[in-house]
Structure 1
Amino acid sequence: MDISSLEKISDYEWRIPAKGDMRVPGVIYADEALVKGMDDKVLEQIVNVCRLPGIVGACYAMPDAHWGYGFPIGGVAAFDPEEGGVVSAGGVGFDISCGVRTLHTGLSAGQIRTAQAELADELYRTVPAGVGSTGHIRLTAHEMDAMLKGGACWAVDRGFGEPEDLAHIEESGCIEGARPECVSQQAKQRQRDEVGTLGSGNHYLEVQEVTEIYDPEIARRFGLREGDALVTIHCGSRGLGHQIGTDYLKEMVAAAAGFGIRLPDRELACAPIGSPLGQKYLGAMKAGMNCALANRQVITHLARQAFAAVLPDAALTVLYDVSHNTCKIEEHTVDGRRKRLYVHRKGATRAFGPGHPSLPEEFRKAGQPVIIGGSMGTASYILAGTERGEAASFSSACHGAGRAMSRHQATRQWRGRELVDALAEQGILIRSPSLRGVAEEAPGAYKDVSAVVEAADRAGLAKKVAKLKPIVCVKG
């Protein structure tokens, strides 16, 4: 990206001044090297988001920002319904509520390594992964609607997990206001036997070691110690979420002119929040969020079964579960006034600071756990939300490293088998149904996650707590 058009506010904050028909400025949180490494399309997409009706504050781009569909991935924007604000399917993305859940295992990394290969094989056998992967759960029409309304609560009620799991899940495991009747039959059909599956792309189940602690007090509150073994699950709403996005983008594009909305980009298709179409989309999107929460809950249950078969002393408990492709109704301060806003986070993680009432009691003094996924062979991180993040980015932070090249480019540069062998030499076991998929997700295809996390920390979006290294990775 050419930085000559940006105003440098600090070493980790860059501003795109509002001009022309931009309603608000744009803000990029990153160091100079990360900004220069961003595609010029990211700047164009930020400016376009700043033109949408009812946007307030600014359109924010996280340190991992890269070109996406309409909104940049790593983009955050909030809309005020009292000022004609809109909801955008492109601002949520196709993988609705894609997110991460991290689990304690009660074991050390050393204990994991005594049965590393056996555990890798058992996890791969137990947790379905890959393109079109299906599980053992086949939902009837009635159960589909119950799942879409109940989320992780539905899964726990059906025996997939424990009630204690719900306390450490965003919205306690169930998004209120879901409307299964607003989800197409095609979307439901795609999800009929995909509950409890990882899917493909950058989704994974990873066993990790805590290798470094940056903030001992917050780490203690999160239950983290150096040498601990954790499990992180990264997946979303599978085919159902993708179909919801597809369905409503078409409707929103067709309806834009009737709402008097001039779209700077068709991919920014949106509808007024209070319109029947806007409300239908929100109801369907919330159902998609519940689908993702149910999916991660069932995978948690399957992971517990795999661990029990290999390492019966393990006790997998939920540290936290948070999504990063959502539109959430939240209260934030804008121009000195507390407002109820519709916050779009696309490839960005909610990061509430200390004292926020929605956090579990044991995290209130620390802030929300913010889980930042790496890629095979690279570190992941756990951060904590900050008070500054409220004003800086509507309490949002990055969600991962962010792609540095396309999947096609990656397959031209790497071979899956060579990557699997090289990572095994580093003590990291990969299990995947697709060597091409492994090549697409090569660590070198992503930005430096450590630089991204450092920028988020220095910008005050979230505070570094712990660094994690992969031991086993099941890839879709």
Structure 2
Amino acid sequence: MKIERLDKYMWRIPKEGKMRVDAIVFTDAESVEDPQFKEAMKQLMNVATLPGIVEYALAMPDIHWGYGFPIGGVAAFDTKNGIISPGGVGFDINCGVRLMKTDLMYEDVRARLKSLVETIYEMVPAGVGARGDIVLGKKGLRKVLVEGAEWAVKAGYGMEEDLERIEDGGKIHPADPNYVSEEAFERGSDELGTLGAGNHFIEVQMVEEIYDKDLAEFFGLEVGTITVMIHSGSRGFGHQVATDYIRLMRDGLKEHNRDLPDKQLINAPFEHPLGQAYYSAMNCAANYAFANREILGHLVRKAFWKVFGKDTRVELIYDVAHNIAKVEEYEIDGKRKKLVVHRKGATRSLGPGNEKVPEIYRDVGQPVIIPGDMGTASYLLIGTKKAEEETFGSTAHGAGRVLGRSAALKRWSYREILDELEKKNIVVMSKSKKTLVEEAPEAYKDVDRVVHIVHEIGISRKVARMVPLGVVKG
């Protein structure tokens, strides 16, 4: 593998063998020397061999090994002669993050922080196989799959103004439930409004640092402001959709997928009936996830109201997807082209004036949310024109793992992690001791480094840094 340094934080693997395009990664020299990085880069080189890929296969600074595509990977395929791949989206379709702000300051919550975290823990079902209070028959669930977050608001879980602060308004089309299996319907029937396990979380945070005073003021943030971050996705429903279509593509498109460098890169031509079916089913799962986070957001609102009173303001700043494939237009060789942009563990980062940015943010650009691990920090950034020009409007999505879950369990104990968080005065409640250890802060890359790189490159700009005060995990 030949890696060329193009700039301080930009590296290239020139196309070789069956690669159709170069592989480009944004990272620092320290990461390039990491053996785990090399494994993820091999996956990126494999992505570069897929039909219809344009420009380059991209990786963000939080890149690490994933299913088929590396996590932190971005790849765009021509809609006419390119493909769509479940591995390029991931099993947790539209796993994403929302950031909410309150009108409370640190001094307002300090004495009641433990009570707040306990109330959130009581009100939000969390953990593997968690079941929510919302149980829907097939007819009701079909509506969720088409209407997304809009369904949640109409059902009383959220506010109308939330919808203009969600990527794509919280509803993506085409989303035809007829392309969704009975198994997916069954798995999704009682998981709406549940957090899930793994790296999913609800975090009460405080704004610790402001980098752009004008933008922070625009978002209503100052040092000491209490915010909430929610990380969750499409739960078992999305996992089943991915599982179903990996099988269908494997069995139904054997000749097309015959020469894949990795069977996990299974795919369908985008315009093939199976490609279109997956695209629609994936959008159904994305809408399920938007509805799920909208419900979770409202449950958190109610927890704040219970502890601090009904006049407490808990407002959505933004909600972004980071496991998805979207049809978007970009300039390729001087012409505007429709592309299927796969972002797997990557966030959209659109600049000012882009029509895909909600009207309330169009003058400043799209809010970008990059969470860290539960012991460090998270960031609010803003999208840029440079991202649209160089990364298909994409940036990093988080800190990115450096240590697998089983390795984390061997290295640390539950007591060690708890003691570490207590030293930082972080209140933690988790359904599972095992999950807490698997998600140890040291199992992740330094989020400050990741954010520094995307800021320095200019594919998103820092607005504010938030630190955790209380964490709820599955």
TM range (shorter): over 0.9
Aligned partners of 1:416 and 1:338: how far apart in 2?
A: 53
**3-state SS, counterpart of residue 5 of structure 1:** coil
Picking from 97, 101, 112, the partner of 1:104 is 101
Aligned partners of 1:330 and 1:287: how far apart in 2?
A: 18
2:204, 2:227 within 8 Å by CA — same for their partners in 1? yes
Picking from 163, 166, 169, the partner of 1:166 is 163
Aligned partners of 1:273 and 1:434: how far apart in 2?
A: 40
Letter in 2 for 1:58: Y
Picking from 226, 229, 237, the partner of 1:229 is 226
Partner of 1:148: 145
Partner of 1:78: 76
**3-state SS, counterpart of residue 63 of structure 1:** strand
Partner of 1:294: 291
Quick check: 1:125 aligned with 2:122? yes
**3-state SS, counterpart of residue 255 of structure 2:** helix
Aligned partners of 1:422 and 1:43: how far apart in 2?
A: 33
1:430, 1:474 within 8 Å by CA — same for their partners in 2? yes
1:351, 1:370 within 8 Å by CA — same for their partners in 2? yes
For normalisation by structure 1, the TM-score amounts to 0.97
Quick check: 1:135 aligned with 2:102? no
Q: How does 1:140-219 map to 2 (within 5 A)?
A: 140-219=137-216
Picking from 85, 88, 91, the partner of 1:88 is 85
Q: CA deviation at 1:143?
A: 0.4
Letter in 2 for 1:56: V
Give CA-to-partner distance per residue, 1:153-207, whole Å, 9 cap, x none. Answer: 0111111111111000011111121111111111111111110000000000001
Aligned partners of 1:110 and 1:469: how far apart in 2?
A: 15
Partner of 1:7: 4
Quick check: 1:318 aligned with 2:323? no
Letter in 2 for 1:455: I
Partner of 1:452: 450
Aligned partners of 1:452 and 1:191: how far apart in 2?
A: 34
Quick check: 1:19 aligned with 2:16? yes
Give CA-to-partner distance per residue, 1:397-438, whole Å, 9 cap, x none. Answer: 000000001000101111123312331231110110101100
Aligned partners of 1:34 and 1:394: how far apart in 2?
A: 23
1:372, 1:399 within 8 Å by CA — same for their partners in 2? yes
Partner of 1:436: 434
Aligned partners of 2:20 and 2:389: how far apart in 1?
A: 18
Aligned partners of 2:253 and 2:296: how far apart in 1?
A: 39
**3-state SS, counterpart of residue 376 of structure 1:** coil
Letter in 2 for 1:426: K
**3-state SS, counterpart of residue 375 of structure 1:** coil
Aligned partners of 1:373 and 1:227: how far apart in 2?
A: 18
Aligned partners of 1:363 and 1:231: how far apart in 2?
A: 20
Q: How does 1:33-48 map to 2 (within 5 A)?
A: 33-37=30-34, 38-48=36-46
Letter in 1 for 2:208: T
2:92, 2:239 within 8 Å by CA — same for their partners in 1? yes
Q: How does 1:384-399 map to 2 (within 5 A)?
A: 384-399=382-397
Aligned partners of 2:242 and 2:21: how far apart in 1?
A: 26
Quick check: 1:403 aligned with 2:401? yes
Partner of 2:306: 309
Q: How does 1:255-274 map to 2 (within 5 A)?
A: 255-259=252-256, 262-274=259-271
Letter in 1 for 2:112: A
Aligned partners of 1:344 and 1:158: how far apart in 2?
A: 31
Q: CA deviation at 1:255?
A: 3.0
Letter in 1 for 2:110: R
Picking from 268, 281, 291, the partner of 1:284 is 281
2:96, 2:323 within 8 Å by CA — same for their partners in 1? yes
Letter in 2 for 1:437: T
**3-state SS, counterpart of residue 33 of structure 2:** helix
2:205, 2:467 within 8 Å by CA — same for their partners in 1? yes
Aligned partners of 2:416 and 2:109: how far apart in 1?
A: 24
Partner of 1:344: 342
Deviates more, 1:22-31 or 1:107-116: 107-116
Deviates more, 1:18-27 or 1:239-248: 18-27
Q: CA deviation at 1:442?
A: 0.2
Partner of 2:240: 243
2:250, 2:257 within 8 Å by CA — same for their partners in 1? no
Q: CA deviation at 1:450?
A: 0.5
Aligned partners of 1:91 and 1:290: how far apart in 2?
A: 18
Aligned partners of 1:69 and 1:190: how far apart in 2?
A: 22
Partner of 1:427: 425
Q: CA deviation at 1:260?
A: 6.4
Aligned partners of 2:251 and 2:19: how far apart in 1?
A: 23
Letter in 1 for 2:11: W
* Aligned-residue RMSD, C-alpha: 1.2
Partner of 1:113: 110
Provide the aligned length of Structure 1 versus Structure 2.
Answer: 472
Identity fraction in percent? 48
1:203, 1:235 within 8 Å by CA — same for their partners in 2? yes
2:5, 2:12 within 8 Å by CA — same for their partners in 1? yes
Partner of 2:464: 466
Aligned partners of 2:32 and 2:386: how far apart in 1?
A: 21
2:75, 2:343 within 8 Å by CA — same for their partners in 1? yes
1:221, 1:362 within 8 Å by CA — same for their partners in 2? no
